[in-house]
Structure 1
Amino acid sequence: MSASFASALHAAREAAASQHYPHGALYVVATPIGNLADITLRALHVLGLADAVACEDTRHTQALLRAYGIDKTASQLIAVHQHNEAQAAQTIVERLQQGQRIAYASDAGTPAVSDPGARLVAAVRAAAQPVVPLPGASSVTTALSVAGVAEGSGFVFAGFLPAKTTERETAVLALAQETRAVVLLEAPHRIEALAQALAALGGRKLTVGREMTKQFEQITDVAAAELPAWLAAEASRTRGEFVLVLHPAPAAPAAADGERVLALLLQELPLKTAVKLAADITGAPRNTLYEQALALKNSEPRRPESA
C-alpha cells in the first residue's frame, strides 16, 4: 500500500464512518475500471467494514484490497461468478440472515450491469434482505461522458454482442435504425470480429474507448466502415478492453417532408432542379421525388387557352 492510499483510508473513515451501515445487508460496491485512484471513500470504508467480500475473482479482489491496505482472509472472500452465482447467492442470503454485512464487487466497474451480480441481487431482494448500492466507476457512463452524444437522444446499453458470426451480424443489423446511442463492450481477442460486423453500418459514427482510465487510454472517433482499418493501422490498437459508443442514426425524413419541400420548390424552379434540391435537403430518394414531381405537374389545372 502506498502512502497515498493510507491517507485515503484515513479520509474514508473520517468521511464515511459516522453513516449508518445496517447489518444483514448486501453492499453492491463499484470498483475502478482501471485506475486505482477512482475508488470512492465510502467503498473503501465498506470494504473494510464488511464481514465478507463476495467477488467475481477472489485473487483479483484480494490484490485490489491489499493495494488499498484492506486485509481480508481467504475465508472472508466468497467467489460469485457466472458459473456458480445461483448457488453462491443462497449461501450469501443465509449469511445475511445471520446479520452479516457482505460487500459484493465484480472485477471492475459497477456490478450487475454487464458483470455477474444481478442474480445475487435478485436473490437477496427476494429474501427481503436490504441491498445497498455504492455508486462509482462504470465503463458505460465513462464512455458516454466523452462521446459527445447529442443531449436528449438517450442511449441503449447492449454490452457484449453474440460471439457467433451470424448472430453478431444480425445484432448489428438490428442497430442500423437505432435512433439512440448504443454502448457496446468488447474484449481484445474479439474486437476485430466486432469491427468487421460494425463496418456494415457505413458512415455511422463510433466513439472508441480503449483501456479507459489506464496509462495507455485511447479515445477516438471513427466511421463504422473505417474501424477495421483503424485497428489494423497499429498493433497496439487491438490490446486492452474496449467500450464503444455507436452514435444515433440520423432520423429518416418523413415521406411527407420530401413532397412538401418539392411542392414549394416547383413553384419557382424547373422540375429537374427542384427534384435535385429536394433530395439534397431531405435525403429522400431522387427517383421517388422525380415521380412525385411528375404527378404534381400533371395534377396542376390547365390554364385556358387565349382566344
Structure 2
Amino acid sequence: MTESAQNGTGTLLLAAAPIGRPEDASARLRAALADAPVIAAEDTRRLRRLTADLGVRTTGRVVSYFDQNEVARTPRLLDDLLAGLDVLVITDAGLPGVSDPGYRLVRAAVAEGVPVTVLPGPSAVTTALVVSGLPTDRFCFEGFPPRKPGERSRRLAELAAEPRTMVFFEAPHRLAATLDAMAAAFGADRPAAVCRELTKTYEEVRRGAVAELADWARDGVRGEITLVVGGAPEPAGLTDPADLAAAVAAREETGVPRKQAIADIAKENGVPKRDVYDAVLAARKSPPA
C-alpha cells in the first residue's frame, strides 16, 4: 500500500521539465503527464507545446500556476491533494521550486502530511555547474541577483568571501551590469562562466574573468543565461612569527584575552597554537626597536 493510500491523500509530484530539448524528458515524466488528475503548469501554452512534442495527451485538469497567482492557487491545489487527487507541478524548464513556483505548495503539503515526490530530470543549475570548468565539490545557488543596482551591489558584497562556487540566473539584458558589479565586488580577475541556451541548438559557454565577460556581454546577449562564478580564494595565512605576534597584540587591544587571541589567530592562519604562543613569547623577550 502506498503512503498516499494509507493517508487517504494524493501525492504532490514535482516534475523536472527539459531546459531545451524535449527529448531530454524522462519516461516517468511522459507517463505522469498522461495520467495526472491535476497538472499545475507555470505556462499552460508551453505545457501544450511540450506534450505535443512528446506525443502525450493529458487527461487531467490543467491549471496555470505561476508567480502572480501562486499564493491564490495553492489552497485549491492543496484541497485536491487532501481529496485524494495527485497533483503534478511543472514549470517552463527545470525543477519546480528552483526560482520557479512550487515551494509554497510543497510547504503546505508537508504541513498536512501529504506525500511529496520528485520526477528527477534536467536542471540548469547543475548542468551549468558541471560544464563551467569551475570546482563542483562545493557550490551554492543564489538565484537571480537583485535588479536594482544598489541592492545588487550590497548582495554581491555579502558574497565576496563565499568560498564555494556560486550559480546565478540572470536576464540577458542585465548580464553586463551584473558582471560589472561582480568585478567590483569580487575582483576583476574572479573566474566565471556564462552558460547560454544550455542543451539547445545554439548552446554557448563563455569562460574567463568576470571583467572580461562583462566586456563581451556589453555587445548584447540573447537566450536563457546561467552564470557560474568561482568562490573566493583562501586567504594567505600569516606565517612570519613577528606578524603572528602583532596579530595577537592587535586582537588583545580590542579586549580579547591573550589565550583566546592566540587560539583565534592560529585557527585563522592555519598554524599550530604552539607556534603562535612561541611567537608571542619571543616578541615579549625582544627589546623594542
TM over 0.5: yes
Question: Offset of 1:300 from its aligned partner?
Answer: 8.5
Paired position in structure 2 for 1:287: none
Any idea what the Cα deviations from partners look like across 1:123-174, whole Å, max 9, x if unmatched?
A: 122222111111111111101111233354x111101011111000111122
Q: Are 1:55 and 2:38 matched, yes or no?
A: no
Residues 96-245 of structure 1 mapped to structure 2, 5 A cutoff = 96-150=81-135, 152=137, 154-200=138-184, 201-232=187-218, 235=220, 238-245=221-228
**Unaligned regions of 5+ residues in structure 2, if any?**
245-268, 270-278
- Amino acid aligned to 1:245: V
Contact 1:192–1:231, Cα closer than 8 Å, also in 2: yes
**Unaligned regions of 5+ residues in structure 1, if any?**
1-18, 264-281, 283-291, 302-307
Contact 2:175–2:214, Cα closer than 8 Å, also in 1: no
Contact 2:136–2:165, Cα closer than 8 Å, also in 1: no
RMSD of aligned C-alpha atoms?
Answer: 2.9
Contact 2:43–2:64, Cα closer than 8 Å, also in 1: yes
Q: Write the distance in 2 (CA, Å) between the matches of 1:206 and 1:261.
A: 37
Question: Offset of 1:299 from its aligned partner?
Answer: 4.0
Q: Write the distance in 2 (CA, Å) between the matches of 1:156 and 1:261.
A: 38
Structure 1 counterpart of 2:55, from 50, 66, 69: 69
Question: Offset of 1:98 from its aligned partner?
Answer: 2.1
Q: Write the distance in 1 (CA, Å) between the matches of 2:89 and 2:106.
A: 9
Helix, strand or coil at the partner of 1:103: strand
Any idea what the Cα deviations from partners look like across 1:31-81, whole Å, max 9, x if unmatched?
A: 0111111111111111111012101111111211121122236x7211111
Q: Write the distance in 2 (CA, Å) between the matches of 1:114 and 1:158.
A: 9
Question: Offset of 1:262 from its aligned partner?
Answer: 8.9
Q: 1:254 to 1:122 in 2, by over 3 A?
A: same
Percent of aligned pairs sharing the same letter: 38
Q: Write the distance in 1 (CA, Å) between the matches of 2:129 and 2:135.
A: 10
Q: 1:76 to 1:142 in 2, by over 3 A?
A: same
Q: TM-score, normalised by structure 1?
A: 0.73
Q: Write the distance in 2 (CA, Å) between the matches of 1:136 and 1:20.
A: 23
Q: Are 1:248 and 2:231 matched, yes or no?
A: yes
Larger radius of gyration: 1
Helix, strand or coil at the partner of 1:116: coil
- Amino acid aligned to 1:61: L
Helix, strand or coil at the partner of 2:31: helix
Q: Write the distance in 2 (CA, Å) between the matches of 1:121 and 1:102.
A: 11
- Amino acid aligned to 2:217: L
Q: Write the distance in 1 (CA, Å) between the matches of 2:120 and 2:224.
A: 21
Paired position in structure 1 for 2:273: none
Question: Offset of 1:96 from its aligned partner?
Answer: 1.6
Contact 1:125–1:131, Cα closer than 8 Å, also in 2: yes
Any idea what the Cα deviations from partners look like across 1:86-128, whole Å, max 9, x if unmatched?
A: 2211111111222212211011101101111100111122222
Contact 1:210–1:219, Cα closer than 8 Å, also in 2: yes
Paired position in structure 1 for 2:253: none
Q: 1:262 to 1:101 in 2, by over 3 A?
A: closer
Question: Offset of 1:192 from its aligned partner?
Answer: 2.2
Q: TM-score, normalised by structure 2?
A: 0.78
Helix, strand or coil at the partner of 2:172: coil
- Amino acid aligned to 2:212: E
